[in-house]
A and B are shown apart, each in its own frame.
Chain A
Amino acid sequence: MDLSVTLRGQRHNLVLKNPVLTASGTFGYGLEYAPYGDLSSLGGFVVKGLSLTPRLGNTPPRIVETTAGMLNSVGLQNDGVEYFLSETLPKLPWRETAVIANIYAGSTEEFAMLADRLDGEEGVSALEVNISCPNVKKGGAQFGQDPVLAAEVTRAVREGAPHKHIIVKLSPNVTSIAEMARSVEKAGADSISCINTLLGMSIDYRSRRPRLHNVVGGLSGPAIKPVAVRCVWEVSKSVGIPVIGLGGIVSCQDILEFIIAGASAIQVGTANFMNPAAAFELVKDLPVLCSELGISSIEELTGSLQIG
């Protein structure tokens, strides 16, 4: 059973030993999950969003459990890119698996600086550009909702990190995700990951107060999976670059659904919270399910949706 996949980008390919990545913000910097499985067994992991300088994050409460999902408004709390590079990255098994740096910035210039800083780092396989975080005031969603700004950011990162595979992470909170996808593809993205969280809200009906301090936050978990599958399908039809699918994946059956919809690889997010061994278990079980179904390679399954 061949689990390996190659994401063929416009400038650089990204080779993964299997299609199971973990989603940014749900897997810490990887080390948090080392007691629960073998990090190097994963196709790769996308680290918690990095910014140029440390960010405090939003005031709690930051998370709310919802039916088959959760809301979060963490606000990209992180220790900054320098701390990651000097203290964390050396401890990660980057020779054995892909370590992907998710990056966030409040301006195009800052994105370019971050990209430049990471470009020479041997331990970083790819950059995932976060233009879709709904929980920060500046940048974030505003880049992710405007195809012109999204293209500008993509171009800045592409130029800042000419030696890296560039993934652009798209928001579902747009009128046409296909239009966003075409825009970042034209601007030089090597691949697209989708979807980020859906903007949502929860209210304590007794106190009549929002449950999140930030009032609104991003919805994730099994509840959003049908939206995510639809987005992956629309995006993959609209662009020539590979798509990494995420949104509510908890089972191997879910993984196949995303791949058939058009994804070349997937990310496991909220499921890591539901079970700290979730991603490791999926890597172990995927070949079992594939062989049951007579699937001999993941790549041949990508985009094999039959309509009509």
Chain B
Amino acid sequence: MGVIFCGVDYRWLGEVKNAMNNEKCCDLSVLDLVPFGQTGAESIFYALRLSAPNWPAWQPGQFVMVRPHSFGYEIPWARPLGICHMTTQHLICFFQVLGRGTKRLSQLRPGEQVAVWGPLGNGFAIEKDRPTLLLAGGMGIVPFVGYVHRHPQPWNVSMVFGHRAAVDCYPVDSINERIPLDSLRETVPGDLDNLIFTLQERIHDCADQDGLVLACGPRPFLRTVHRFAISFGARAQLSLENQMACGVGACLGCVTKTSDKWADKRHKDGFVQVCTKGPVFWADQIQF
């Protein structure tokens, strides 16, 4: 999950002092908010750096629910944000301003408190000896920052990155330092054909090498990856970014359709939560 399209209130926490901090759900301080790409009022891409929660066991591909206290009652849902990177010093998330929630996130100031719960969901498979192809669409690049840092043999990993905004709007630098990254920007319609062709070629090659394909991005991008992964028989995982309200498996709003390959027979050809059963799914176990 890269960034989330949907968007929450903690005023009651202010009214009655009761921040009940536990391991999974805590108030974190905003350390800073750094615009990427175009700076100033124009920017819509931000790295949000928060004080570190105590989550030593997090996995790249997991996400967090982030809800600034300033959401008040007006914006009820937290925003699910992919974990970009986490150290003992900080938690870094990344988002693009798309609606009222992410707009409000972009107005956060250092020192402000945000409620955060996580780490949520599963993570991407790390199979260190296997050639691994990362496919990122736009904000889908976010979880791969942590992934390439965590991977013990980065020389087995490469990336294709499709995006619309200028490449400097995205956190590519730390990925570029470690693995070869092919950046394909879509500015005119023909560029999309080029991206699709590249995806086809690279997924095909990866399948031939018995490699691992990992993808994260918007739904049309994942649909294309899914189609090629199935037709070439590639081992592939896709990270979905559906709208969600709770992040803990209760609201049943983020569900996605499974295939007949889903392991739990109760939910074959049924709906499962992206937040708790994903956000990373094996391609053959879900339908598009």
User: Measuring CB to CB, which residues of chain A are less than 8 angstroms from any residue of chain B?
Assistant: 25-28, 32-33, 35-37, 48, 54, 56-57, 60-63, 65, 67-70, 72, 74, 77, 79, 83, 221-222, 250-254, 270-277, 280-281, 284-285, 288-289
Contacts and interface: CB of A to CB of B under 8 A. Distances in A.
Contacts of A289: 16
A274 B20 contact: no
A284 B18 contact: yes
Interface in B248-273: 248-256, 266, 270-271
A274 B78 contact: yes
B253 A285 contact: no
Given A28-B249, A36-B22, A83 B266 contact: yes
A196 to B, nearest CB: 16
Given A68-B73, A274-B67, A285-B16, 10 more contacts: A26-B250, A35-B22, A48-B252, A62-B252, A65-B101, A68-B74, A254-B12, A274-B9, A277-B25, A281-B20
B16 A62 contact: no
B42 interface: no
Looking at chain B's contact residues, the main secondary structure is loop
Q: Which of B73, B117, B244: most chain A Cβ within 10 A?
A: B73
A12 to B, nearest CB: 28
B77 interface: yes
Contacts of A254: 12
B6 interface: yes
A273 B245 CA distance: 6
Given A57-B271, A62-B255, A27 B250 contact: yes
A77 B271 contact: yes
A256 to B, nearest CB: 11
B16 to A, nearest CB: 5
A280 B101 CA distance: 26
Contacts of B244: 63
B251 A275 contact: no
Interface in B77-122: 77-78, 101, 115, 117
B15 A251 contact: yes
